[in-house]
Amino acid sequence: MDERLRQAVGGEEAYVVGGAVRDELLERPVIDLDIACPAPAEAARSYAGLAGGAVFPLSDRHGAWRVAFRDGRTVDFTPLPDGIEADLGTRDFTINAIAIPLAGGEPVDPFGGRDDLEAGVLRAVSPQIFADDPIRLLRAARLEDELGARLDEETERLARAHTELVTSPAGERILGELIRLSLPGFRRLDGLGLLAPLGGSLEKLDRAEGVETPGFSLICVFGPALDGYPVSNCLRRQARTVLRAERPPDASARSLHRFRRATEPWSREALAYLGANDLLAALEESRASDPPEPLLRGDELGLAPGPEIGRLLELIAEERAAGTISTREDALDLVHRDRST
């Protein structure tokens, strides 16, 4: 354990809690830490000074503070008003309700979380976990997905009894869970009755198979409904491009050029979404045959700046892709003929 953490809490009772403990017990990489201690603001400021991180309040309501580092790591300091067992009793699943004393010693495990970890069981700490924080409905499916665990019978019953709450959390929190799901994770979410209320469907989920572009599974699951979530600008552009794409009429060079012009850099994803993987080899061949330089530049057309230059350059590019022209002279002749009609 980082000695600076012990120094930051000043000898007060403090514990590492939550997912960091779970992941350490599972021998998974531990990136972020959650420290429960009596004075989180003071401890966070002290640790930021010792470790060189940026400190800021994480939750005014709950009194939590965060120290963030340039490499993406975070250390959260949360209050410990009523002792560690009371703190663990407010957590979601038993595997996340284990604490390790910062000063050293045996883990505090009042709910049998280590046994559930070994058994691969995801068990609610209390019957109120989903009512207290509905994001735990999505977290249940996500943890099953990531850890290869399974909800115990009673916890699954509780989740199904609270499905109407799944849309309650802020969009950012919902998206944070959804974006971490694998394809089987989405199927499990649907099986629990949690996907449809969020606007999702499994109808096109299989089209995300084999496509590793971040966020593409969200496009396949949510389609136009994804526009209602606070996704990144890049993912929003990708979704709109993919969703408005039309299947090329054939595998000709001209058709693929037009398709790529409308969909790049997401042409492969657009084909997958359209169920047109039979055109994938032709698409890759089209990409591989892209010339390194254009036949003409806009300033060589002898025209005033404006949209006409862009139209002519695209005409040249399409005819070149289709194989009807191949030289600068061909391109100039094409422009002359087009401008003469």
At 164, the pLDDT band (50, 70, 90 cuts) reads very high
Domain identity same for 283 and 227: yes
Domain identity same for 169 and 274: no
Which of 174, 197, 220 delimits the end of a domain? Answer: 197
d(CA 187, CA 201): 9
- Please list the alpha-helical segments (H only) found in 133-170: 135-147, 153-161
pLDDT attached to residue 68: 95
Mean residue pLDDT of the chain comes to: 94
pLDDT attached to residue 3: 87
Share of the chain above pLDDT 70, in %: 99
Number of domains in the chain: 4
Domain identity same for 312 and 277: no
Domain identity same for 218 and 278: yes
Domain identity same for 264 and 235: yes
**Within 10 A of 68 (CB to CB), how many other CB atoms are there?**
17
Q: What CATH code is carried by the domain that includes residue 168?
A: 1.10.110.30
Question: If we measure between CA atoms, which residue out of 260, 273, 285, 144 comes closest to residue 209?
Answer: 273
Domain identity same for 32 and 100: yes
- What per-residue string of b and e applies to 223-245 under the rule 16 or more CB within 10 Å gives b? beebeebebeeebeebbebbeeb
d(CA 195, CA 188): 9
Q: Residue 245 pLDDT more than 90?
A: yes
Which of 89, 115, 141 delimits the end of a domain? Answer: 115
Domain identity same for 158 and 233: no
Cα-based angle 99, 109, 158 (whole degrees, multiple of 5): 105
At 340, the pLDDT band (50, 70, 90 cuts) reads confident
Domain identity same for 275 and 308: no
Domain identity same for 96 and 5: yes
pLDDT attached to residue 192: 97
d(CA 181, CA 130): 19
Q: Residue 1 pLDDT more than 70?
A: no
Between 10 and 132, residue with greater pLDDT: 132
Enclosing H/E stretch for 21:
helix 19-25
Beta bridge partners of 99: 17, 108
Share of the chain above pLDDT 90, in %: 87
Domain identity same for 138 and 150: yes
Domain identity same for 208 and 258: yes
Least confident range from 51-60, 108-117, 122-131: namely 51-60
The residue segments making up the domain with residue 8 are: 1-115
Q: Residue 273 pLDDT more than 80?
A: yes
Tens digits of residue pLDDT in 36-93? 999 999 999 999 999 999 999 987 777 899 999 999 899 999 999 889 999 999 999 9
Domain identity same for 173 and 102: no
Which of 165, 197, 229 delimits the end of a domain? Answer: 197
